[in-house]
């Protein structure tokens, strides 16, 4: 009898060890998932990616640039982009394209760091920033204290691409003409700082109206967001900068942010950040 009990305890102990190993494996897999998706997609296209060698960066550190493999833009590089504003789908680039890129924006842009995406890029962002305060509010940390977004951008003179995403904060109370006027002033200031950089203006993200209204007590509609996005496109044509209709990759059939994509109607999770950056990789203008 004692031998039978001993055998049963030994078997249960073995099962417990298996369960523990399985649990640790799942935790490890979840931890690295945000990085693996970039490498896996590059490999699927037969493109060698250097993501594993990318160094972490933030608004206080300058990322090292790496050379862009010729195979990352084999055909798009022959296209004349001089008359293009709305960037079409092009040959997919690798993550190396973003080595010398700066992303400017609010909490949605801050999420790039939160979810560990594009760690080779520089993020200059702050929660709550909007187009009326972005040039004046000192919200970016620096060794000398807090500085403005433009002061932070000035610290990266070698930047070749600037991605701007603004509008989630502000369109509820900033009238459209004023919104475009302020946005124009900001783009002009960026051009003065980085005259040779490629500037991308990203469309304002759609919202889930029901969840947004409940979370923020606001009646912003996707129809209004589309109107502001149309105005942004016209502004980009006037300023000769590129416009990225990122909204098209995260909307559902009704032109809304899917209910499953957000908890508060505006902010998104890992899956939709991946959709966002897959879109950016497929809408990247070649830069020498």
Q: How far apart are CA 180 and CA 198, in angstroms?
A: 20
**CB-facing half-sphere around the CA of 172: CA atoms within 13 A:** 13
Q: What is the model's pLDDT at position 102?
A: 98
Task: Tell me which of 229 and 9 has the higher pLDDT.
Answer: 229
Pairing of strands 242-244, 140-142: unpaired
* pLDDT tier for residue 22 given thresholds of 50, 70 and 90: low
Q: What is the model's pLDDT at position 117?
A: 79
- Region of residue 118 (left: phi > 0; alpha: psi -120 to 50; beta: else): left
pLDDT at 25 over 60: no
Q: What is the model's pLDDT at position 21?
A: 55
Question: Is 204:167 a contact under the CB 8 Å cutoff?
Answer: yes
Q: What is the model's pLDDT at position 80?
A: 77
What does 87-121 look like in DSSP terms, one character per residue? ----PPP-GGGGTTEEEEESHHHHHHHHTT--TTS
Q: What is the model's pLDDT at position 115?
A: 82
Task: Tell me which of 114 and 62 has the higher pLDDT.
Answer: 114
Mean of the per-residue pLDDT values of the chain:
81
Of the candidates 109, 122, 267, 287, which has an alpha carbon nearest to the alpha carbon of residue 201? 109
* pLDDT tier for residue 213 given thresholds of 50, 70 and 90: very high
Tell me what percent of the residues of the chain surpass a pLDDT of 90: 66
Tell me what percent of the residues of the chain surpass a pLDDT of 70: 73
pLDDT at 82 over 50: yes
pLDDT digits (tens, 9 = 90+) for 151-189: 999 999 999 999 999 999 999 999 999 999 999 999 999
What is the mean predicted confidence (pLDDT) over 89-105? 96
CA dihedral 247, 253, 259, 261 (to 10 degrees): -40
């Amino acid at each position: 009898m004692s031998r039978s009990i001993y055998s049963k305890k030994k078997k249960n102990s073995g099962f417990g060890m298996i369960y523990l190993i399985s649990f640790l494996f799942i935790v490890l897999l979840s931890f690295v998932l945000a990085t693996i998706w970039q490498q896996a997609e590059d490999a699927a296209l037969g493109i060698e990616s250097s993501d594993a060698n990318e160094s972490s960066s933030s608004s206080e550190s300058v990322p090292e640039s790496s050379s862009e493999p010729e195979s990352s833009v084999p055909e798009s590089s022959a296209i004349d982009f001089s008359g293009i504003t709305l960037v079409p789908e092009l040959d997919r680039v690798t993550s190396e394209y973003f080595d010398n890129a700066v992303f400017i924006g609010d909490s949605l842009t801050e999420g790039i760091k939160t979810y560990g995406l594009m760690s080779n890029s520089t993020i200059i962002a702050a929660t709550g920033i909007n187009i009326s305060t972005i040039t004046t509010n000192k919200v970016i940390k620096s060794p000398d204290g807090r500085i403005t977004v433009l002061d932070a951008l000035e610290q990266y003179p070698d930047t070749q691409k600037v991605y701007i995403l603004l509008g989630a904060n502000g369109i509820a109370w900033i009238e459209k003409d004023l919104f475009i006027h302020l946005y124009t002033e900001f783009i002009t200031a960026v051009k003065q700082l980085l005259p040779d950089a490629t500037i991308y203006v990203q469309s304002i993200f759609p919202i889930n109206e029901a969840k947004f209204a409940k979370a923020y007590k606001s009646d912003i509609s996707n129809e209004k967001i589309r109107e502001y996005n149309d105005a942004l496109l016209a502004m980009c044509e006037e300023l000769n900068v590129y416009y990225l209709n990122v909204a098209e990759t995260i909307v559902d059939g009704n032109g809304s942010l899917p209910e499953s994509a957000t908890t508060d109607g505006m902010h998104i999770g890992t899956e939709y950040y991946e959709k966002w950056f897959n879109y950016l990789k497929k809408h990247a203008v070649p830069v020498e």
